[in-house]
């Protein structure tokens, strides 16, 4: 880990003392460490392996708090964590909300969540909360199980997304059969907006990452992010610059998937580095502000770089470029330890037992 850690410390400077709900401009000075809450560290410090990555493995808010120095020592001053509402069944990842108003008990208590945030702020570290407003848990048509969206009228009619080029279908149908909320319903719209406003205020959250942005009409996101009142970076899982840029008038920032695919093409596929120059020029023309996009080389939705391409030097070059290029850098946990997991959930490994600050990889 030494090489990457020293590099990160060199690249990341000191920032101002933290306070809640920070603006987009303030986030420009931050570098984000992304974790899966369930996979980072356990409350009791146990490093026993996880027997099934498809289920909960035991990571908690307390586990994160106890290991903040591990993250800060690499130079990171912000942490992106998993969604916090109680989820259905074994949905450790947080993207299948069952009860919007109950914190996932697998992660810890409300007081433990507050303690984590307080501890982060005391160390001048900011918290980015992952949030979902497109869908709920895998309950099919059993809507009464969901709080507060417990009526069929709160959802779009059941259909599946098959044609990702059909915007109407993407906005109205289900992603992986997850019941799709109807944000045009007054109750759904107002509840989602009040929820994000209240959660930011109640817990002193500094910024948000928004899941599944194209699956909801653009205007809703303009209202939602206004209620949030902080930096918001949205997921538009697409490599087309024009398409991703079309969402920036509604969401302050987007994850830079065009750069992600270009980086892979250069350092995995041996493509010309001129592609990176052309990408940056294109983004500067088409985005309202390309300097606030989230830049990354790995995340929880894709095979890790080292799984698809085992050349460590190429990976380190890609990491450096993502850190240096315009935008707000995001590094996925385990990158500093050379994790190489493949398809979900293999790319969501447990970090405990691997926090080696002397690793030379």
And the tokens for 113? 């969540």
Distances (CA, A) of 243 to 66, 110, 187, 254: 41, 38, 30, 11
Instruction: Give burial (CB, 10 Å; 0-12/13-18/19+) of 40.
Output: buried
Query: Nearest to residue 74, comparing CAs of 360, 359, 339, 357?
Result: 357
* C-alpha dihedral sign at 134, 138, 141, 145: negative
CA 279, 280, 281 angle in degrees (round to 5)?
90
Give me the active site residues, please.
211, 235
SS (H, E, C) the chain: CHHHHHHHHHHCCCCCCCCCCCCHHHHCCCCEEECCHHHHCECCCCCCCCCCCCCCCCECHHHHHHCHHHHHCCCCCEEEECCCEEECCCCCCCCCEEEEEEECCCCCCHHHHHHHHHHHHHCCCEEEEEECCCECCCCCCCHHHCECCCCHHHECCCCECCCCCCHHHHHHCEECCECEECCCCHHHHHHHHHHHHHHHHHHCCCEEEECCCCCCCHHHHHHHHHHHCCEEEECCCCCCHHHHHCCCCCCCEEECHHHHHHHHHHHCCCCCCHHHHHHHHHHHHHCCCHHHCEECCCCCCCCCHHHHCCCHHHHHHHHHHHHHCCCEEEEECCHHHCCCCCCCCCCCCCCCCCCCCCCCC
């Amino acid at each position: 880990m030494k090489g990457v850690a020293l590099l990160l410390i060199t690249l990341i400077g000191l920032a101002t003392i933290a306070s809640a709900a920070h603006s987009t401009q303030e986030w420009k000075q931050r570098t984000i460490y992304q974790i899966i809450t369930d996979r980072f560290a356990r409350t009791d410090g146990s490093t026993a392996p996880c027997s099934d990555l498809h289920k909960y493995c035991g990571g908690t808010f307390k586990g994160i708090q106890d290991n903040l120095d591990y993250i800060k020592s690499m130079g990171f001053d912000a942490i992106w964590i998993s969604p916090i509402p109680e989820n259905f069944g074994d949905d450790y990842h947080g993207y299948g909300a069952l009860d919007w108003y109950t914190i996932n008990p697998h992660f810890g208590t409300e007081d433990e969540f507050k303690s984590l945030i307080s501890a982060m702020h005391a160390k001048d570290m900011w918290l980015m909360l992952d949030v979902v407003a497109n869908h709920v848990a895998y309950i099919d048509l059993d809507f009464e199980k969901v709080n507060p969206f417990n009526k069929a009228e709160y959802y779009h009619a059941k259909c599946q997304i098959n044609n990702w080029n059909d915007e109407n279908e993407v906005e109205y149908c289900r992603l992986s059969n997850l019941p799709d909320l109807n944000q045009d319903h007054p109750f759904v719209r107002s509840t989602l907006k009040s929820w994000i406003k209240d959660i930011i205020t109640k817990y002193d959250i500094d910024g948000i990452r928004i899941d599944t942005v194209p699956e909801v009409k653009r205007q809703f996101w303009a209202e939602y992010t206004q209620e949030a009142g902080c930096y918001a970076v949205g997921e538009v899982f697409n490599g087309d610059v024009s398409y991703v840029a079309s969402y920036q008038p509604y969401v302050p920032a987007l994850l830079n998937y065009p750069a992600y695919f270009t980086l892979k093409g250069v350092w995995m596929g041996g493509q010309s580095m001129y592609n990176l120059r052309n990408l940056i020029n294109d983004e500067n023309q088409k985005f309202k502000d390309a300097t606030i996009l989230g830049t990354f080389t790995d995340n929880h939705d894709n095979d890790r770089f080292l799984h698809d391409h085992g050349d460590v030097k190429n990976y380190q070059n890609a990491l450096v470029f993502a850190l240096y290029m315009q935008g707000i850098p995001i590094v996925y946990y385990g990158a500093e330890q050379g994790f190489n997991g493949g398809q979900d959930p293999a790319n969501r490994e447990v970090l405990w037992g691997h926090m080696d600050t002397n690793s030379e990889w």
